[in-house]
Amino acid sequence: MSVPHARKPEADAPIRHASPGRPKDLAKGAAILEAAKHMFTLHGYERVSMDQIAAEAGVSKLTVYSHFGDKDALFAAAVKSHCDTQLPDTLFEASPDTPLRERLLTIAHAFFAMVSSPEAIAGHRIMCTPQITGSPLPALFWTAGPQRVQSAFAALLQRRVEAGELEIPDLAMASSQFFALLKGEVHARMVFGCCSEGRSVEDHLTACVDMFLRAYGPRESGNGKA
């Protein structure tokens, strides 16, 4: 993916949310989201216009604005759609009969598959460009993606704490640490376009989960499950 050029003021105006009114066409909304994800991944945020997204989706630009408000809001919706697809809420629901380590490994694999996808790598690179600093995009990106995932995972951890399987004084911090561990050097190499070296992704994820359990496992083993 190419690095975006300096931001053009299509997004200089305050973010506009989709206007209320008659119910939106769900099929058109889905087509717009898929087109946006494809175009942002292929060309970067700055080089994609709402006209191009509309053409890719086979709808009018007015329809795009009607569904999503503006390009910033559409970008945030694309991030959320990607996260919802790769890490659905069901992944964090209570599963009392699933061993904790197995549960964490399942989430680890799903998360890493999400952040290592071309769409996610492209989005990460967009957020790292100096042109984006000070714009609404970083906050939108964080709310739509990492914040949602970390909050859902913290709730899962809370259930395991209550079951006596973990001892975690700060759930928000532990959740953040878990996903930071999973990304690690492997994800950084992907963002930089470097070749992967060293241990396999499988070994990396397993080591991260085991480290997390050593850090937050109870001093005395508990048998309860969340």
Percent of the chain with pLDDT over 90: 49
More confident residue, 93 or 25: 93
Entry pTM: 0.76
How close are the terminal C-alpha atoms of the chain, in Å? Answer: 42
pLDDT of 159 > 90? The answer is yes
138 within domain boundaries:
yes
19 within domain boundaries:
no
Instruction: Name the residue type at position 185.
Output: E
Q: Which of 80, 47, 74, 76 is nearest to 59 (CA)?
A: 74
pLDDT of 194 > 90? The answer is no
Its sign, for the CA torsion 27, 32, 37, 38, is positive
Weakest-pLDDT range from 48-62, 124-138, 139-153, 176-190: 124-138
For residue 178, the enclosing domain spans 87-216
Residue with tokens 């209570």: 94
Three-point CA angle 58, 135, 194, nearest 5° = 80
pLDDT of 1 > 50? The answer is no
CA distances from 210 to 181, 187, 217, 218 (A): 11, 19, 10, 13
More confident residue, 221 or 197: 197
Instruction: Name the residue type at position 68.
Output: F
| CATH number, domain with residue 195 | 1.10.357.10
109 within domain boundaries:
yes
pLDDT of 179 > 60? The answer is yes
CA distances from 151 to 14, 37, 143, 173, 185 (A): 27, 24, 10, 11, 24
Q: How many helices (H) and strands (E) does the chain have?
A: 10, 0
- At 199-222, the pLDDT tens digits run 789 999 999 999 999 999 997 654
pLDDT of 191 > 50? The answer is yes
150 within domain boundaries:
yes
124 within domain boundaries:
yes
The mean predicted confidence, pLDDT, of the chain is 84
166 within domain boundaries:
yes
Tell me if 11 sits within 8 A of 126, measured CB to CB. Answer: no
108 within domain boundaries:
yes
> Looking at residues 112-138, what average pLDDT do you find?
82
26 within domain boundaries:
no
CA distance 149 to 147: 6
Percent of the chain with pLDDT over 70: 85
- At 5-64, the pLDDT tens digits run 434 434 444 445 555 554 568 899 999 999 998 998 888 788 899 999 999 999 999 999
Give the tokens for residue 99. 């061993």
Domain count, the chain: 1
